[in-house]
C-alpha cells in the first residue's frame, strides 16, 4: 500500500493554513507554536528549523524529541474522522495535531487545549 500523501507533505506547507485558521479566530502564532511544541516536545528553535528545512510530516513526527504522553487525551472528530479510532500511528498523530489546531481556533482556553498542562 502506498504512503498517504500527507506523510510526504512538508509541515511548512500546512503550517500557514493552521496559522490562518487560528489567527482568523483571534489566536496567535505563539499559541499555535505552543500547541505544536506541547504535542511533539520540540523547542521553538527546533520547530523553526523544521519549518525552514521543509521537513515532511513523517520525519517531523519520527524525530520528535518527546511526544507528550497526555496526547492520548486528544479525542474527538476532526474532518469526519474519530481521532482515537485511527489505526495508523502516524496518521493518528497528524489527526491529533489537526484536532488541537481546531480546538485552538474554536477559542478553547489554552489550558484545556493542552489537557491541563503547559509547555516550558
The pLDDT tens digits along the chain (120 residues) read: 567 899 999 999 999 999 999 999 999 999 999 999 999 999 999 999 999 999 999 999 999 999 999 999 999 999 898 999 999 999 999 999 999 999 999 999 999 999 986 544
Residue 38 has what DSSP assignment?
H
d(CA 90, CA 87): 9
What are the structural domains of the chain? 7-111 (1.10.8.290)
Predicted TM-score (pTM) of the model is: 0.92
Amino acid at each position: 500500500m502506498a504512503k498517504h500523501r500527507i506523510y510526504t507533505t512538508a509541515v511548512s506547507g500546512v503550517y500557514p493554513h493552521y496559522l490562518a485558521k487560528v489567527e482568523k479566530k483571534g489566536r496567535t502564532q505563539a499559541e499555535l507554536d505552543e500547541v505544536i511544541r506541547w504535542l511533539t516536545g520540540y523547542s521553538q528553535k527546533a520547530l523553526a528549523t523544521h519549518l525552514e528545512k521543509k521537513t515532511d510530516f513523517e520525519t517531523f513526527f519520527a524525530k520528535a524529541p518527546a511526544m507528550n504522553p497526555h496526547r492520548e487525551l486528544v479525542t474527538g472528530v476532526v474532518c469526519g474522522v474519530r481521532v482515537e479510532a485511527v489505526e495508523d500511528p502516524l496518521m493518528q498523530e497528524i489527526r491529533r495535531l489537526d484536532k488541537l489546531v481546531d480546538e485552538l481556533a474554536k477559542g478553547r482556553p489554552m489550558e484545556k487545549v493542552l489537557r491541563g498542562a503547559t509547555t516550558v
